[in-house]
Structure 1
Amino acid sequence: MKYAIRILAVLAILFVGCDDNEYEAPFPFSDIGFYTSKGTANDLQVNIDEYLSFTDLSQGAVNHKWTIETSDAFLEGPIDRNDTILEKFIIEPRTTTSYEKTVHVLFQTSGMKKVRLHNTFNEMVVFKGNRGDVDYEMPAKKEGDVFVIDTTFLVKVYPRLVPKIKVRNDDVVVNHQATDTVYIEAGSSLEFTDLTTIGEPTGRTWSVRKAFKPGDEVAENPVLNSSGDSIANITFNSLGSFRVSMNSSRSGQNLPGAFASYQMTAPIKVIPSSKPFELTGVIRELEDETIQVPYNGEFTPFGGQEEFFTVKVNGEAFEVASVTVNEDDATKMDIKLAAPIYRPDVITVSYSGGTIESTDTREALPFTDEPVIMSTVNLVPEAIAGLETGADSWGTFWSNKGTVEYSTEQASTGNYSLKLQIEPGQDNAEASAMFENPIIFEEGKTYIVSYDMYVEPGVVGAADAEIGLFLLQNWNFQVRTLFEHPEGVWVTITNEYVNTSSLSQFYLRILTNADKTTAATVYYDNFSIIEKEERP
């Protein structure tokens, strides 16, 4: 009878002598127990070329033996934990059987391995263990005149990590193992894909470093760009030669840690771009009132360019205090005004063309009256606000009778919205979202609460039916609307809120009419609470 054991128990026996000079043997006693150097871990897992120790703690056994697979080996102890060359401890000639109480097993091949302990007793014994926090018993099986406990320990042996990658330059797969230089234009990106499977990695880090010429003396080779994505699109903005490496790793609870590095042989050479150096994306105001202007390449440091910028606030030109290259991202310019700006302001930026250049010597192209997206610090957590990152952030309220689910059928922005559906005869459709950390509202401040709503065409029984958003736990009535908005289009519901109570939960509902004939499907997106600002 064999048993696959994944959790082990330790049984200890206390012996007491009669006096200091004479030993009297205790009464005959039989029991079963065993232990490993991994303690009582549920899963025994090691790296290849590592070993585990197994100890038979049984008492009163007639005989016992350990059996291992032919690919593994017994080691002769003691073994210092700092020893890295374990082959010198292998017991020669090799054998698959040992009768020692404690054995050290070296695993030299990967896969699921078995270490077997076979014990026989003259009387019945029962192993008492615990698996997954559940106690269990394993009685011996009588075979002839003896009782047998046949135990098999399962050990997962991980192979060494073998990094494998793929590199693409647009639609062309790059031979990253060659020594030929990969040429790309400044501002372009390469796609790096981690294809590693051998060794079961749990993560990786891509690193971009400058490739120094032979003979260059440098104190260090700093990482200029990095990514932890399995598919990483890395942009190269600076001219020069670069090397890319990937560090593959395995880590986690009870997992044997491992690390392996791969360096792309082919160097990457970034050459001047053939594209114009121009505004890309949108201009944004940051929370500290910095206006950030993005370009499709890195700027060469500059100064004295303020006169070439015109910033209009509500149609009036404001004094530009400074224009500088962003310290953390050289593809962005930071503009600061001499006077404060406020969230309701309508701001535009123009650049008439000065002496600003990219690091690959392209001249920055001018632009006129580009709008600024104003900073809005949304107090609602992202997963609840936009529904893009938290598939369980919204759920059904305890008294819900309708349908509540995430949906890709409609979305105001992104891919997801929250769908509530009520059918005739149902009392309501109710959803809620709990905040991990409550929102604390400040006394004397006004807040704007808003969300986007899409009512699917074909509502039945809309008269007296209600849609409402409540701020819990105080049941602050915040936004309430009957079915008075157009169907088939996204609308934004907005209301001002003044309260010092903390907010820990959203409660959203569709409430039927008095006759319970309401049938409606409504989608919600972009929940927001922001502090109201007004220009003095």
Structure 2
Amino acid sequence: MKNAIRILAVLAILFVGCDDNEYEAPFPFSDVGFYTSKGTADDLQINLDDYLSFTDLSQGEESHSWKIESTDVFLEGPIDRTDSILDQFIIEPRVTSSFEKTVHVLFQSSGMKKVRLYNTFNEMVTFKGNRAGEDYEMAAVKKGDLYVIDTTFMVKVYPKLVPVIKVRNGEVTVNHEANDTIYIEAGNTLEFTDLSTIGEPTGRSWNIVKALKPGEEVTENPIVSSSGDSPANIAFNKLGSFRASMNLSRSGQNIPGDFANYVVNAPIRVIPSSKPFELTGDIREQEDETIQVPYNGEFTTFGGQEEFFTVMVNGEAFEIASVGVNVNDATKLDIKLAAPIYRPDVITVSYAGGTIESTDTREALPFTDEPVLMSTVNLIPEAIAGLETGADSWVPFWSNKGIAEYSTEQAATGAYSLKLQIAAGQDNAEAGATFENPIIFEAEKTYVVSYDMYIAPGAVGADGTSSTGLFLLQNWGFQFWNNFAHPVGEWKTHTVDYQSTTPLSQFYLRILPNAEKTTDMTVYYDNFTILEKEVRP
């Protein structure tokens, strides 16, 4: 009987150097035993054209032999770890059987391979091993006058990685293997898709580098853009010639690593865009009070253009200290004001049109009175604040009697809100959210606590006799009540000022019924925020 076993050793000894026929047991072994140079994995895993060593530790055997597949070969040791060319160690003539105690097997084809160890004994022996943390025993099988231990080692041989990609320019799949240039307008993207499967890759990285002219040497980091996605949509904002490549990799625990590089043969040429160079997206204040203006292309470096911009703060024109290109994203302009700005300020920006150009020589188009979205640093983690993970940051409180759950029935923003539902006769509807890291409030600072609320039409008790409140625990002394002073059927934001030095470790939100417990309503909550309060002096 033949036993195919995957736990391959009773002793995990890694080979530093492999020397045949010089094994001496440091202490008495059982009658049957073996080990490999890869230890005790469920499946031995190795790269193509690499080798594994196997040693038979059995004592007192009547006969002993190794058997390998015809596509693999035995190597003659010793073999040093630094030896990269293994052909010099192949035993000639090539055979598929060996009677040595230690063998080194070079795997020259990929797939699941078998290495068989066949031992016979004059008396009964039992192999004691461990598979996935569980001890087990395998007794010899009697065949005629002998007892046989027949063991097959399963080896997964990984083939070399073979990169396969697809490149799309808009709706057109381009022939990236040809020499024809891929033309793309500045500001547009190419889509790179990794289709590789051979060798079981686990990741990839795309790199875009500036193409060098004949004789030109690299003087700085040549990578101008990169991505690990598939598909990866990579924008080309600068004029010029570029080359694309993909680094394909395989890595992971117990997985033999491999790497392959693929260079896209077709050169990429970025030409001026036919689209106007204009404002795109929202103008936003950054945390450091920089006003950031986004355009649909990269700017060339410029100076002395402040006079063409106007920034109105609460109806008053503020002095502009500087206007320049953002150092990390050349598609954005940074405007710095000479005076501070505050979150409640109403700010607009105008550009009258100066001599600002894109890197592909387009002139920046003017705009008038565009609003600025002010910076808000919400101290509440996003999973609790916006509920968009749809996960379990909010859960029913231990004493909840109603319904407390995530919902997509209503949302102030995004897709999710928190739903509390209380029926007539119930004592409450309660939910809680625990903070992984408590929020620490500073003394002498005022904070603004807010949330959005929606009362579903048909509510009974939304007349001020019922109440809803948000506790900021562990400050039991503070509760943010609103008593449903709120129109039914529409979202409304509720805010309150808050001062405390008690760390916030948990939200506790509830609905309490009126005295008669006739309250019957469904309420949705969204966009919980805690912001440092800013007031213009």
TM-score, normalising length: structure 2: 0.87
Deviations 1:81-129 (A, max 9, x none): 1222223322233333333222222222222223333344412424131
| Residues 437, 156 of structure 1: alpha-carbon distance in 2 compared, 3 angstrom cutoff | farther
In structure 1, C-alpha distance between the alignment counterparts of 2:401 and 2:7, rounded to whole Å: 45
Q: How far apart are residue 266 of structure 1 and its match? A: 1.3
Which residue in the other structure is 2:3 paired with? 2
Distance 1:519 1:232 in 2: 50
CA distance in 2, matches of 1:473, 1:388: 25
SS for the counterpart of 1:163 is coil
Q: Give the direction of change, closer, same or farther, for the CA distance of 1:404–1:303 in structure 2 (3 Å limit).
A: same
Deviates more, 1:27-36 or 1:368-377: 27-36
- Distance in 1 (alpha carbons) for counterparts of 2:182 and 2:343: 46
Sort the Cα spacing of 1:287 and 1:239 in 2 relative to 1 into closer, same or farther, 3 A: same
Q: Could you tell me which residue of structure 1 aligns to residue 157 of structure 2? A: 157
Segment drifting more, 406-415 vs 246-255: 406-415
- 1:191/1:397 Cα in 2 relative to 1: closer, same or farther (>3 Å)? farther
Contact 1:300 1:357 (C-alpha < 8 Å) held by counterparts = yes
What is aligned with 1:139? 138
Write out per-residue CA displacement over residues 484-505 of structure 1, whole angstroms, 9 at most, x where no aligned residue. 5444433333332222122233
CA 1:428–1:228 in 2, change beyond 3 Å: closer, same or farther? farther
Partners in 1 of 2:429 and 2:64 — Cα distance? 66
State TM-score, norm by structure 1: 0.87
Residue 499 of structure 1: aligned partner: 500
Relative distance call for 1:407 and 1:208 in structure 2 (3 A) is farther
Residue 265 of structure 1 is matched in structure 2 by 265
State the partner residue of 2:21. Answer: none
Cα distance in 1, alignment partners of residues 8 and 128 from structure 2? 12
Any stretches of 5+ residues in structure 2 without a counterpart?
A: 14-26
Please tell me whether the aligned partners of residues 278 and 364 of structure 1 are also in contact (alpha carbons under 8 angstroms). Answer: yes
> Which residue does the alignment assign to 1:449?
449
| 1:404 and 1:421 in contact (8 A); partners too | yes
Question: Relative to structure 2, which stretch is displaced further, 425-434 or 333-342?
Answer: 425-434
Aligned to 1:310: 310
Identity over aligned residues, as a percent?
Answer: 72
Deviations 1:417-436 (A, max 9, x none): 44555667876655444433
Aligned CA distance change for structure 1 residues 28 and 417 (closer, same or farther; 3 Å): closer
Quick one: distance in 2 between partners of 1:291 and 1:509?
A: 40
Q: Which amino acid aligns with 2:130?
A: G
In structure 1, what is the equivalent of residue 237 of structure 2?
237
Q: Which amino acid aligns with 2:357?
A: E
2:409 aligned with 1:413: no
**1:247 corresponds to:** 247
Question: Where does residue 328 of structure 1 map in the other structure?
Answer: 328
- The residue number in structure 1 matching 2:70 is 70
CA distance in structure 2 between the partners assigned to 1:128 and 1:308 by the alignment: 80
After TM superposition, the structure 1 = structure 2 runs for residues 14-33 of structure 1, keeping only pairs within 5 Å, are: 30-33=30-33
Kindly tell me the number of residue pairs found equivalent between the two proteins. Answer: 522
Q: Deviations over 1:16-53 (max 9, x none)?
A: xxxxxxxxxxx998443332222234442222112222
The residue aligned with 2:299 is 299
Instruction: Give the counterpart letter for 1:313 in structure 2.
Output: V
Q: CA deviation at 1:349?
A: 0.7
Q: Aligned-pair distance for 1:280? A: 0.7
Letter matched to residue 167 of structure 1: V
8 Å contact kept, 1:5–1:151:
no
- What is the aligned partner in structure 2 of residue 90 from structure 1? 90
The offset of 1:146, in angstroms, is: 4.4
The Cα offsets for residues 140-192 of structure 1, whole Å up to 9 and x where unpaired, read as: 14324544443333322222111122111221111111111111211111111
Mapping of residues 1-400 of structure 1, within 5 Å: 1-6=2-7, 8-10=9-11, 30-121=30-121, 122-131=123-132, 134-144=133-143, 145-220=145-220, 222-389=222-389, 391-398=391-398
Q: Structure 1 residues 210 and 407, CA, compared in 2 at 3 Å: closer, same or farther?
A: farther
- Show CA shifts across 1:375-396 (max 9, x none): 1112222333334457454445
Q: For residue 313 of structure 1, report the CA deviation from its aligned partner.
A: 0.9
Instruction: For 1:407-486, list aligned pairs within 5 A.
Output: 407-420=407-420, 430-459=430-459, 467-475=468-476, 477-483=478-484, 485-486=486-487
> Which residue pairs with 2:18 in the alignment?
none
> Following the alignment from structure 1 to structure 2, what is the Cα–Cα distance between the partners of residues 413 and 442?
30
Q: Deviations over 1:329-377 (max 9, x none)?
A: 1111111111111111111111111111112221111111111111111
Inter-CA distance 244–117: structure 2 relative to 1 (3 Å threshold): same
Please give the alpha-carbon distance, in whole angstroms, between the structure 2 residues aligned to 1:318 and 1:149. Answer: 89
SS of alignment partner, residue 265 of structure 1: coil
CA contact (8 A) 2:42 2:131 kept: no
Q: Specify the SS of the correspondent of 1:35.
A: strand
In 1, distance between residues paired with 2:169 and 2:311? 39
After superposition, the Cα gap between the structure-2 partners of 1:282 and 1:150, relative to the gap in structure 1 and judged at 3 Å, is same
Q: Deviations over 1:422-452 (max 9, x none)?
A: 6678766554444333222111112222233
Give me the CA root mean square deviation: 3.1
- Look up the equivalent residue of 1:86 and give its one-letter code: L
Q: Which amino acid counterpart does residue 4 of structure 1 have in structure 2?
A: I
Residues 242, 267 of structure 2: 8 Å contact kept: yes
- Native 8 Å contact 2:32 2:125 kept in 1: no
Range 296-305 or range 498-507, more displaced = 498-507
- Structure 2: distance between partners of 1:342 and 1:496: 17
SS in structure 1 of the partner of residue 531 of structure 2: strand
Mark the runs of 5 or more structure 1 residues left unpaired by the alignment: 13-26
The structure-2 alpha-carbon separation of the partners of 1:495 and 1:200, relative to structure 1 and needing over 3 Å to count, comes to farther
What is the Cα deviation at residue 454 of structure 1?
Answer: 3.8
Residues 430 and 42 of structure 1, relative CA distance in 2, 3 Å threshold: farther
Q: Distance in 2 between matches of 1:399 and 1:200?
A: 51
Query: Match of 2:160, SS?
Result: coil
Matches of 2:93 and 2:487, distance apart in 1: 86
Residues 401 and 427 of structure 1 are in contact (CA less than 8 Å); yes or no, is this contact kept in structure 2? yes
Aligned equivalents of 2:390 and 2:327: distance in 1? Answer: 32
CA offset digits 1:293-347 (Å, max 9, x no partner) = 1111111211111111111111111111111111111111111111111111111
Contact 1:402 1:428 in 2 (8 A): yes
**Mapped partners of 1:478, 1:397: distance in 2:** 16
3-state DSSP of counterpart to 1:322: strand
Deviation at 1:405, TM superposition (A): 5.0
Partners in 1 of 2:141 and 2:47 — Cα distance? 37
2:216 and 2:12 map into 1 onto residues whose CA distance is 64
2: distance between equivalents of 1:138 and 1:519? 66
**2-structure distance, mates of 1:446, 1:485:** 25
Specify the SS of the correspondent of 2:307. helix
Q: How far apart, in 2, do the equivalents of 1:81 and 1:352 lie?
A: 69
Q: Which amino acid aligns with 1:502?
A: P
